[in-house]
Amino acid sequence: MSTSFAILAVIIIYLLLVICTGVYIGRRTKQNSEGFFLGGRGMGPLVTAMSAEASDMSSYLLMGIPGVAYLTGLADATWTAIGLGVGTYLNFLLVAKRLRRYSAKINAITIPGFFSKRFGDKSHVIETVAAVVIIIFFIPYVASGLQAIGKLFTTLFEMNYMVGVIIGAVVILSYSTVGGFGSVAVMDLIQSIIMTFALVVIVFFAINKAGGWNNAMQYLGGLPGYLKLNETYDPSTNTAGAYGFITIISTLAWGLGYFGMPHILVRFMSIRDENELKVSRRIAATWVFISMGVAIIIGIIGKAMSNEGVIAELSGSDSERVIIHIANLLAQNGVFFAVIAGVILAGILAATMSTADSQLLCAASSFSENIMQGTFKKKLDAKQSLFAARCTIVIIVILAIFIASNPDSPIGKSIFQVVAFAWAGFGACFGPGMLLALFDKRMNKQGVGAGMVAGAIVIFVWKFMVRPLGGAWNIYELLPAFLVNLIVAIVVSKVTPEPEKEIQDTFDQVMTNI
């Protein structure tokens, strides 16, 4: 048996497992809106924690972060990981329990629906804006995932790029449209296990092939700024660049994004018992810190492997394929190791699909529940609502396939950059509003709506007009947009009428003994 055949066989088995398991779980899920979009609010603490993290840690865990670490050293990747780890913990600590209780109280099953019902927005303006933002940002996000799958199949098997993209799309559609949230959440748990296996095997194999830990550190320590947290390595000039306080704060701002991630926030709404979120928090925070730490180590050890000549020297976005190169090297040791390499490469598929399926479901719920029934006031029964959601998933996948059809399009040049922009978009648009909705009784619909619009505008202005100026302006767009949203929301709420007494009474009831 050839190594390529063994890898292909493992990936085919994995994809069939995903389809069969997802469909089986889906058929056991209650077929109504709450069942399809939230799993009937019956998820356990382990599924909640790992589904949240798997849907969060897309291909940037196995490709983006190692790629950044490979190219520039510890600073950028490490501060990003710290920001994400702290953000994960604080999101579970500050948001999870309050959102679970509040959403159940007002019968909200989507994030746009939560904002609308929390603030008594009978005009559905906030709901519409939130739903449109979700759909706009998720379509290119899903497209980048399909593009990563297409490139993976092309790299491994010299398969036609579009065939790989379509295979990925069909697999994700198969269980997302049948089972909804229940299928997606359980598949996320399974895929997080595969991702963990991939990280553990790769890191030990890579250290061995780099000549051991001490040998690798000796080489990497000789690269200017590579192993420092206040400097970054420039591979084009072989020099160190400053990584100052402002840059560190900007990078840590990644953590703010969690407060506004729709596909992560709905995991909190889905748990069966709010008191189990404490267990989920511990599981999630532990896993995210360890997994990202290992991903960074893989990136820098990969650089040492290139120095040893065991894998090629990688540049630009090619550095994001360092795990693929290491897995291919592992596969050269015989059929058994080829099977292990197949599982590792399946982990990359798992990382991509676990995020794409969650995004598709979130976008579908936004359209069928919020735009059709909220904005256009078209009453749908449970069967019609699920049909609309499934049609939305199919349409979004078709659009994503179209966007991903060009493997050299800008959207696929860097997984890390695509994720960074979409992450900033959601964090800046929804994060401040979510925190204010859960902590400020006086906050009203005018403030939250104005903040959302301001945050969305600043994201684009800062990304494409301000940040290119460089210097002190080179700040991750999430931070200024988040702050502008927060300030605008508070100011506008203070100069407009306070919420109706019924809304404030509901807030008090929900927050009793929180």
pLDDT digits (tens, 9 = 90+) for 107-131: 998 899 999 999 998 888 888 888 8
Residues 285-295 as b or e (16 or more Cβ within 10 Å = b): bebbbebbbbb
Q: 2: which 2 tokens?
A: 């050839």
What single-letter amino acid sits at 19? I
Sequence-separated (6 or more) residues with CB below 8 Å from residue 318: none
* pLDDT tens-digit series, residues 185-242: 777 787 788 878 888 888 999 999 999 999 999 999 999 999 999 999 999 899 999 9
pLDDT of residue 505: 93
Domain boundaries, the chain: 3-406
354 in helix, strand or coil?
A: helix
Q: Residue 61 and residue 63: Cα distance in Å, rounded?
A: 6
Phi, psi of 241 (to 5 degrees): -115, 155
Sequence-separated (6 or more) residues with CB below 8 Å from residue 360: 138, 142, 172, 176, 393, 396, 397
DSSP line for 385-424: HHHHHHHHHHHHHHHHHHHHT-TTSGGGS-HHHHHHHHHH
Inform me whether the pLDDT recorded for 1 exceeds 60.
no
Sequence-separated (6 or more) residues with CB below 8 Å from residue 239: 224, 225, 233
Strand bridging mode 239-242 / 231-234 = antiparallel
Q: How confident is the model at residue 444 (pLDDT cuts 50, 70, 90)?
A: very high
pTM summary value: 0.88
DSSP letter assigned to residue 442: T
Percentage helix, strand, coil, to 5, in the chain? 80, 0, 20
For the domain made up of 3-406, the CATH class stated in words is: mainly alpha
Q: Residue 249 and residue 265: Cα distance in Å, rounded?
A: 24
User: 340 near 333, Cβ under 8 Å?
Assistant: no
What single-letter amino acid sits at 331? A
User: 463 near 424, Cβ under 8 Å?
Assistant: yes
Q: Residue 234 and residue 396: Cα distance in Å, rounded?
A: 39
| Segment holding 138, helix H or strand E | helix 125-157
* pLDDT tens-digit series, residues 376-422: 777 777 778 778 888 888 888 898 888 888 776 655 555 667 778 88
Q: How confident is the model at residue 31 (pLDDT cuts 50, 70, 90)?
A: low
Lowest pLDDT segment from 32-36, 259-263, 311-315: 32-36
Percent of the chain with pLDDT over 70: 94
Q: How confident is the model at residue 29 (pLDDT cuts 50, 70, 90)?
A: low
Average pLDDT of span 157-164? 84
Q: At what angle do helices 111-118 and 125-157 cross, to 10 degrees?
A: 170
User: What string of H, E and C letters represents the secondary structure of 74-125?
Assistant: HHHHHHHHHHHHHHHHHHHHHHHHHHHHHHHHCCCCCHHHHHHHHCCCCCCH
User: 220 near 207, Cβ under 8 Å?
Assistant: no
Q: Residue 440 and residue 448: Cα distance in Å, rounded?
A: 11
pLDDT of residue 411: 54
User: Rounded to whole angstroms, what are the CA distances from 259 to 256, 335, 361, 367, 436?
Assistant: 6, 45, 19, 21, 11
User: Rounded to whole angstroms, what are the CA distances from 395 to 42, 303, 369?
Assistant: 28, 41, 16
